[in-house]
Structure 1
Amino acid sequence: MVVLEKAPAKINLSLDVLHKRTDGFHEVEMVMTTVDLADRIELKLIERNQIKVVSESRFVPNDERNLAYRAAKLMKEHFSIKKGVRIFIEKNIPVAAGLAGGSSDAAAVLRGLNKVWEIHADLDELAELGARIGSDVSFCVYGGTALARGRGEKITALPSPPPCWVVLAKPSVGVSTQTVYQKLNVNKAEHPDTEAMIKALENKNFEAICANVSNTLEGVTTRLHPEVNQIKEKMRDAGADAVLMSGSGPTVFALVSQDARVQRIYNSLKGFCPEVHIVRMLGNRETPC
């Protein structure tokens, strides 16, 4: 049996860090939505009782460093599965980019193995398992648009944004999420108006969405990597309706309502960034397993 799963990237329309918790994690409040840049995951039953991860990308590890591998291992342990699987990952989402590529791969493996191994768990149960793997995995199990609280595992579905273009630009620098959080001073950082963003989504108000994009981590990452601000400036100058860094970065996205501006923004970045993508928002949840 072979199952194919799509693993879409996410962007943060808003990201707020409230405080550091007693367990060492940070309490967050994030509004996220999926876009149509996606990895492709192929899951195939194999005779040997093992997990085998394969990819043509040199950036994809084939052991427990890979969240997809960890998702498969967790499924085997949690549901006492004595079968093997070959996981092929076609990598299209930039690595370590703030787009939840690894988390989305893990979520796709959870959904796919639910079918391959005929477990028949619902999405809520898979999302609970996903929370054990990484902070964004629970959201990625559902996809669509949602408010994520806690460490990111408490998910509340939200209306999808109105259709628009999204231009993603990732500079060549790498960003350590752990370092960004360590250097964050929550009391001095800027904080989004999460409720205003939720209201804008509920009203399908594109202008209000653009007015309320905000990311508490952005100030830390831009101090470490000035390239992020340079990308934002180029996007604004080329006519973006809104620009923001996604996650802990370094990827920056532009929201663009008019078709005529999209190519202009893309062209302004193509010589400056090694990875630039023009995508659309997906916005809707996965169908139930």
Structure 2
Amino acid sequence: MNSVNYRSPAKVNFTLDIKGVHGGYHMLESLVCTVSICDEISVLARSDDKVTVEMHGEGCEGLPPLQNNAYAASVRFVDTFRTRGADIVIRKGIPCGAGLGGSSADAAGVLRALSLLYGVGEEDKLAELAAGLGSDTRYMLGGGWAVMRGRGEKVSFLLSPLRLWLVILVPPVGVSAAACYAEYDKLPRSCAFSSVPPEELAKDGALLCNSLHNDLFAAASRLNPAVEEAFKEALALSPDGACMSGSGSAVFAAFKDEERAFRAYNSYSGKFRAILAHTL
């Protein structure tokens, strides 16, 4: 095998509770699921151990190739498994700075693509590599429904058949995750955590849609008022629930029914980019 093409999906946070701060890191509990928005990753084997990464798509032009997670993932893969290098091209379908896990999706996708290219099946080592590449990357390596805890590195994967349809609204300007957490620290603390374990929410679409929440929403809205505007437009679509994903800036309207989601998507005429997606 000389080349591999791989589609790496985005994720959506359906709940996000900040449980406290430990060792300078925010401890969270979040119910997440991968969704049908993907970055396309192409890897071509090289004869030496060098790695190159090209990224194409809106919002990624200013990111130096050697300073992104995909490059770090590929270098660590080659060093760990002693394989040849690769020329990697990533075509972005996941909006940047939107809280949809695009950077982690690229890192996890590169690990998956290289493991297919070079026949590496050591899942434990791949998971260890992923865990060192960012809070979401370990989860993104597996995908599906899961609960993330701690800094995001503690992942409990769930066997849930639940499918939801989403109309995702993406403001033109993203939100820096670091800035969002810093802004969160300035706001009054909330002691109100969800009374239903996230594992139970993943079993019941109606219960989940009534329980969507994100502790970072107020902070993200202060940094980027378009987040709150997008949230109001999401609510105007009459969904079963609406919420912000990650640290923003994307918000989503969630539907239990595909037809209602499709109608809402087609009827949307607001100011933000709209994407129709579903959970995977």
TM-score (norm 1): 0.88
What amino acid does structure 2 have at the position aligned with 1:242? G
Alignment of 1:98-137 (within 5 A): 98-122=99-123, 124-137=124-137
Q: 1:287 maps to which residue?
A: none
| Superposed CA offset, 1:229-272 (max 9, x none) | 22222222221111000000000011112344324533564441
CA distance in 2, matches of 1:12, 1:192: 15
Decide whether the 8 Å contact of 1:213 with 1:242 is kept in 2.
yes
CA distance in 2, matches of 1:29, 1:194: 13
- 1:221 CA drift (Å): 0.8
- 1:118 CA drift (Å): 2.8
| Superposed CA offset, 1:198-239 (max 9, x none) | 2122xx321100111111111111122222222222222221
SS at structure 1 position matched to 2:72: helix
1:42 aligns with 2:42: yes
CA distance in 2, matches of 1:191, 1:131: 29
| Superposed CA offset, 1:159-211 (max 9, x none) | 3352221111110122111111112138613654174332122xx32110011
SS at structure 2 position matched to 1:184: helix
CA distance in 2, matches of 1:55, 1:270: 30
CA distance in 1, matches of 2:195, 2:97: 25
| Residue segments in structure 1 that go unaligned for 5+ positions in a row | 283-289
What amino acid does structure 2 have at the position aligned with 1:215? N
Q: 1:250 maps to which residue?
A: 249
Decide whether the 8 Å contact of 2:206 with 2:256 is kept in 1.
no
1:214 aligns with 2:213: yes
Decide whether the 8 Å contact of 1:243 with 1:254 is kept in 2.
yes
| Superposed CA offset, 1:97-125 (max 9, x none) | 10001101110111111222333311x33
| Residue segments in structure 2 that go unaligned for 5+ positions in a row | none
Alignment of 1:1-289 (within 5 A): 1-22=2-23, 24-57=24-57, 59=60, 61=63, 63-81=65-83, 83-122=84-123, 124-160=124-160, 162-185=162-185, 188-189=189-190, 191-193=192-194, 195-201=196-202, 204-267=203-266, 269-273=268-272, 275-282=273-280
Decide whether the 8 Å contact of 2:30 with 2:147 is kept in 1.
yes
SS at structure 2 position matched to 1:64: helix
What amino acid does structure 1 have at the position aligned with 2:184? L
What amino acid does structure 2 have at the position aligned with 1:182? A
CA distance in 2, matches of 1:33, 1:260: 21
- 1:279 CA drift (Å): 0.8
Q: Which aligned runs of 4 or more in structure 1 are off by greater than 6 angstroms? A: none
CA distance in 1, matches of 2:262, 2:82: 50
- 1:12 CA drift (Å): 0.4
Decide whether the 8 Å contact of 1:135 with 1:153 is kept in 2.
yes
Q: Percent identity?
A: 33
The 1:259/1:63 distance shift into structure 2, 3 A limit, reads: closer
Q: What is the Cα-based RMSD across aligned positions, in Å?
A: 2.0
Which of 126-135 and 242-251 deviates more? 126-135
Decide whether the 8 Å contact of 1:11 with 1:34 is kept in 2.
yes
Task: State the number of aligned residues.
Answer: 276
Decide whether the 8 Å contact of 2:30 with 2:198 is kept in 1.
no
The 1:40/1:219 distance shift into structure 2, 3 A limit, reads: same
Q: 1:286 maps to which residue?
A: none
What amino acid does structure 1 have at the position aligned with 2:104? S
